[in-house]
Structure 1
């Protein structure tokens, strides 16, 4: 109904402008027209057609803006509204002395033009500055804070929340950690992380596509099994391009922990005083130690960096580099551990084929 009203209003306005525009023609031109009523009908029809085009443009723009406002997080909407009001207020206070100054008649247009341009500049600047710290502004206006309101509604738990990144989701161990109950608090899944997973799932690379689909499957399972623990946070930062920077910003604003397996993100977040829970660090602390001489059965999947090396993985994702293992690619193999390397970025085990075990089998 509203769409039809907008278009119809512009049609009437265009027809009226076209109809009365005939009166603006000079008398010499009107004197050459034999049928004034016909000319008015033609101009009114042309104006109505222009009104239809403008009305459709306005109606489409209105619906697009309405959709953006509906999908906009409440903290950002409030921040933009407050920034708009403050910007216009400052513009009026600063431009008020301008209207008291005497201007020659031929320069009288300076006052309204300056007022309009100044109001636009200050309004846009106010919204941009307010949106930069939208959540902080929301907390300032609302003493209970965004997080406290969610807690009172039962959406958030009192425990400290955890922000999930792409690597922790694709890694998959988050699902097992939730089953054990060792992770407390709410899990915040940013909307931009879901979008990144979707881009990875649509990648042309088979490996990336499989990782992306695995991540989406894990998200669907934990949201189904733990509907009260996982929240999709719509927050986004248009002025920040890097996903890692968005994650750090969100964790800072929500005062939440950042759950990740990304070594570089771990370091960057720690520098910015964001608490990080690295699943690799947890696995490193709990993982049984493989000592030199221990036997492991793995499947050699691909070649290593060196021509003679083969690479396989344990069930927990630990990489096993097998010397002289390239000839066993695609086969299950019993290997003997020769060494291990443990870091926050992950763990590597070095091994060689166990010839005696293969001979006995």
Structure 2
């Protein structure tokens, strides 16, 4: 459409230019009406065809620019776009008096107009930048905050609206988020975008067994989440065709909805935090709620298997924390009392290092 409009404009411009040129070349007092019309039609055809060709090139360039602008605006969060427009409008209003005032200064017309336009554009630019940079403070003033205040000896609280949480594919397949939701610890709506569901369906239809199993588990968990009454689950159709990859779409959606992302994905976790999007990691939650055990504390564990190092045995707490038992290699299957020596925190979880109490050494090793 833009190419057609541009060509039409340039054709009209060419005809008007041909008309003005024919008036100049064939003045009415020197030529008759027939010569004028022949000249007008000839010049209009020449410049009209020139406008048609030139308008095609200009139209293609304008279409390219239109695509770039639409892509740029599509990537901008809605608040950024709104405040940018407000800044431009304020700049136009504030800069108008300055432009009119400078126009009245006694300067050559070209110089005066150039200076006035330059100052006008600077005022618009500065106003837009100031409004854009102040958007967070303005939003904080407008946005209702959770406040506790005392009124006539009674404490009351403004209505609190919990932030929505967006689920990614990894957190749905993992399954623990369903159990967390079922306990009632999650506040706010759970949002599942359609492009996440489509990714689960692609996994479920995969020719690879592992991917197919993961996809089907994810769809089963999704079905359970929708039936869970302790949390509100919303499936939305919002998509970002200009963005590639589910992770990029999740980050953009979270920025627009001012929501948090629930994920187990390491890369998504890093990217989202770099872009100042709140991330809730189920693995971090799991580590945070594990039983706290301090060095010197005595616990009872069952040695499950041999460790990698010499004479080590491996046990586990109820929450899955690995216990390394010194000199426990020969005690597989036995329940023993141990003392905590220390622990090691890793991205995969926590490992606790222990040693056998003397009573266990006498009980087991003397017997053997």
What TM-score comes out, normalization by structure 1 length?
Answer: 0.52
Aligned length: 258
What residue number does 1:79 align with? none
Q: 1:183 to 1:333 in 2, by over 3 A?
A: farther
User: C-alpha distance in 1, partners of 2:318/2:208?
Assistant: 23
Match of 2:249 among 246, 250, 254: 246
What residue number does 1:190 align with? 193
Q: 1:159 to 1:339 in 2, by over 3 A?
A: same
Match of 2:351 among 342, 349, 361: 349
What residue number does 2:49 align with? 109
User: C-alpha distance in 2, partners of 1:320/1:204?
Assistant: 39
Q: Which residues of 2 match residues 1-12 of structure 1 at below 5 A? A: none
Q: Is the contact between residue 188 and residue 230 of structure 1 (CA under 8 Å) also seen in structure 2?
A: yes
Q: Is the contact between residue 342 and residue 354 of structure 2 (CA under 8 Å) also seen in structure 1?
A: no
1:215 matched to 2:155? no
- Please give the secondary structure, in 2, of the residue aligned with 1:274: coil
Question: Residue 319 of structure 1: CA displacement?
Answer: 6.5
What residue number does 1:163 align with? 166
- Please give the secondary structure, in 1, of the residue aligned with 2:234: strand
What residue number does 2:70 align with? 130
Question: Residue 252 of structure 1: CA displacement?
Answer: 0.8
RMSD value over aligned CA atoms?
Answer: 5.0
1:225 matched to 2:228? yes
Q: Is the contact between residue 98 and residue 111 of structure 1 (CA under 8 Å) also seen in structure 2?
A: yes
What residue number does 1:268 align with? 271
- Please give the secondary structure, in 1, of the residue aligned with 2:197: helix
1:122-174 Cα distance to aligned partner (Å, 9 max, x none): 35643553355448569859xxxxxx9xxxxxxxx943111111222222221
Q: 1:316 to 1:262 in 2, by over 3 A?
A: farther
Question: Residue 236 of structure 1: CA displacement?
Answer: 2.5
User: C-alpha distance in 1, partners of 2:256/2:166?
Assistant: 11
Q: 1:295 to 1:218 in 2, by over 3 A?
A: farther
What residue number does 2:280 align with? 277
Q: Is the contact between residue 333 and residue 353 of structure 1 (CA under 8 Å) also seen in structure 2?
A: no
| Worse overlay, 189-198 or 120-129 | 120-129
Q: Which residues of 2 match residues 33-112 of structure 1 at below 5 A? A: 97=13, 100-102=16-18, 105=45, 108-112=48-52
Q: Is the contact between residue 163 and residue 187 of structure 2 (CA under 8 Å) also seen in structure 1?
A: yes
- Please give the secondary structure, in 2, of the residue aligned with 1:237: coil
- Please give the secondary structure, in 2, of the residue aligned with 1:341: strand
What residue number does 1:287 align with? 290
Q: 1:191 to 1:289 in 2, by over 3 A?
A: same
Q: Is the contact between residue 184 and residue 230 of structure 2 (CA under 8 Å) also seen in structure 1?
A: no
| Structure 2 unmatched ranges of 5 or more | 19-42, 84-142, 144-159
What residue number does 1:3 align with? none
What residue number does 1:235 align with? 238
User: C-alpha distance in 1, partners of 2:219/2:169?
Assistant: 10
Q: Is the contact between residue 321 and residue 348 of structure 1 (CA under 8 Å) also seen in structure 2?
A: no
Q: Which residues of 2 match residues 322-333 of structure 1 at below 5 A? A: none
Q: Is the contact between residue 88 and residue 122 of structure 1 (CA under 8 Å) also seen in structure 2?
A: no
User: C-alpha distance in 2, partners of 1:124/1:107?
Assistant: 25
Q: 1:258 to 1:352 in 2, by over 3 A?
A: same
Question: Residue 250 of structure 1: CA displacement?
Answer: 1.2
What TM-score comes out, normalization by structure 2 length?
Answer: 0.51
- Please give the secondary structure, in 2, of the residue aligned with 1:184: coil
User: C-alpha distance in 2, partners of 1:325/1:195?
Assistant: 49
User: C-alpha distance in 2, partners of 1:307/1:140?
Assistant: 65
Q: Is the contact between residue 163 and residue 188 of structure 1 (CA under 8 Å) also seen in structure 2?
A: yes
Q: Is the contact between residue 302 and residue 316 of structure 2 (CA under 8 Å) also seen in structure 1?
A: no
User: C-alpha distance in 1, partners of 2:245/2:56?
Assistant: 36
